[in-house]
Amino acid sequence: MPTSSAPVKIAVLGCGTVGTQVVRLLLEQADDLAARVGAPVDLAGVYVRDTSKPRDAVVPVGLLTSDAEALVDQADVVVELMGGMEPARALILRALARGAAVVTANKALLATHGAELHEAADAAGADLYYEAAVAGAIPLVRPVRESLAGDRVTKILGIVNGTTNYVLDEMTTKGLNYDDVVAEAQRLGYAEADPTADVGGHDAAAKAAILASLAFHQRVALDDVYCEGITEVTADDIIAAKETGRVIKLLAVAEQADAGVTVRVHPALLPKDHPLANVRGAFNAVFVEAEAAGELMFYGQGAGGAPTASAVLGDVVSVARHKANGGKGPRESNYARHEVLPMDAAMTRYAVRMSVADRPGVLAQVASIFAEHEVGIESVRQMAGRGHAGLILSTHRAPESALRATVEALRGADSVNDVWSVLRIEGEA
């Protein structure tokens, strides 16, 4: 039972896929939420663009409003589920300036304007929570921000975009090509009509920026994240990956190196027995390595109305408890000053797939080009073709700049017909 009689007033901004489910849970579970918070939790109103639009029956029409500022100004907790930059940013700043707690799922806004929002929260002594912004239902922000606060996170490898994981998984299991799978994903509602944010890696890059900021205790913005999507991954890449016992996944990678940190999103090869290799369909999973904890894995539904609403409600309960009983969540931890290194400085392994002339001495020439650029070859796999040979060379760890120079030299070599693809390898020693 509530211990305080003053209700905590909640304003929900946005009533789409996630907002509708948040409203449903707030109303259906009002008694349980009140007991957990220690005070009644009242939904004060729901801001939408168009109050006359038909909505799910769980949303009481009388709670809808198109006056966001009036709603924000009466709330103790503002839950932002509109997406986009404006008016989301302005409304969050308005709420924080009043001392209201803010819960948001808006990864793009946090990755772009996170510094400003955190500063506003600190200045007002207000809570800013965003568990749902990274990997939907999966508890990840809180574990990295709080549970691992006493450890040193060294690396994060994550599948944080369900659409691209679904596309790559279908290409792998059904042998389909990229365009056909994307069209099918759009038909099934797994991909947006304009899938650019997902397939271009931008959605994953925003999440990578947020995770890296939390893990490394410093600000990492979207502009700091190297981003390559899956649009260039071909059915041949998938077949070649299988031949070397690997699968292709779009990974968000945040890594501590001697000289600084690297944060990147790109397709990568993973050995097929790596835990992330077996993440199927639209699921998400994040693999965290920390000095004392060792390896940790987080897995679950990374999107969808109800799963995302679960994470939002968890945050609502936390900040409402502070409103009812006093206290405050953790402030932004941004004391560290590691350099965010350019992609050229990233160290990883690579698989280079190419077509070479089918004659003696070719392998020696190719090997000498790798050696000249100080990129060690770990293995060579040959596939016969007509008048040419297909090669897959897997390298030892090397800086991206050295690999780029190697590929440029290979393209200019008379024995190399074509460099078909270069994929980074993760998850192997």
Least spacing, CB of residue 169 vs ligand NAP, in Å:
18
For residues 174 and 61, give the distance between their C-alpha atoms in angstroms, rounded to a whole number.
Answer: 45
Q: Which of the following is catalytic: 9, 107, 155, 207?
A: 207
Copy the structure tokens of residue 380: 């060579």
Q: Helix (H, G, I), strand (E, B), or coil: what is residue 394? A: strand
Nearer to ligand NAP, 145 or 202 (CB): 202
Query: Measured at CB, which residue is nearest to ligand NAP?
Result: 16
Least spacing, CB of residue 298 vs ligand NAP, in Å:
15
The phi-psi region of residue 71 (left if phi > 0; otherwise alpha if psi is between -120 and 50; otherwise beta) is alpha
Least spacing, CB of residue 384 vs ligand NAP, in Å:
46
Nearer to ligand NAP, 106 or 256 (CB): 106
Least spacing, CB of residue 279 vs ligand NAP, in Å:
17
For residues 195 and 188, give the distance between their C-alpha atoms in angstroms, rounded to a whole number.
Answer: 13
Least spacing, CB of residue 134 vs ligand NAP, in Å:
8
Nearer to ligand NAP, 158 or 390 (CB): 158
Nearer to ligand NAP, 80 or 224 (CB): 80
Beta strands in 200-319 (DSSP E): 226-227, 246-256, 261-271, 283-290, 294-301
Least spacing, CB of residue 57 vs ligand NAP, in Å:
15
Q: What is the dihedral angle through the alpha carbons of 306, 325, 39, 330, rounded to the nearest 10 degrees?
A: -10
Rounded CA Rg of the chain: 24
For residues 267 and 168, give the distance between their C-alpha atoms in angstroms, rounded to a whole number.
Answer: 10
- Interface residues with ligand NAP (CB under 6 A)? 14-19, 48-50, 53, 81-84, 87, 105-107, 132, 136, 303-304, 308
Nearer to ligand NAP, 188 or 367 (CB): 188
β-pair type (261-271, 226-227):
parallel
Nearer to ligand NAP, 17 or 333 (CB): 17
For residues 59 and 23, give the distance between their C-alpha atoms in angstroms, rounded to a whole number.
Answer: 7
Q: Report DSSP letters for 341-363, one per residue.
A: --GGG-EEEEEEEEEEESSTTHH
Angle between helices 17-28 and 30-37 (to 10 degrees): 80
For residues 353 and 375, give the distance between their C-alpha atoms in angstroms, rounded to a whole number.
Answer: 15
328 flagged as catalytic: no
Cα 261–264–265 angle (5° rounding)? 160
Catalytic (active-site) positions: 207
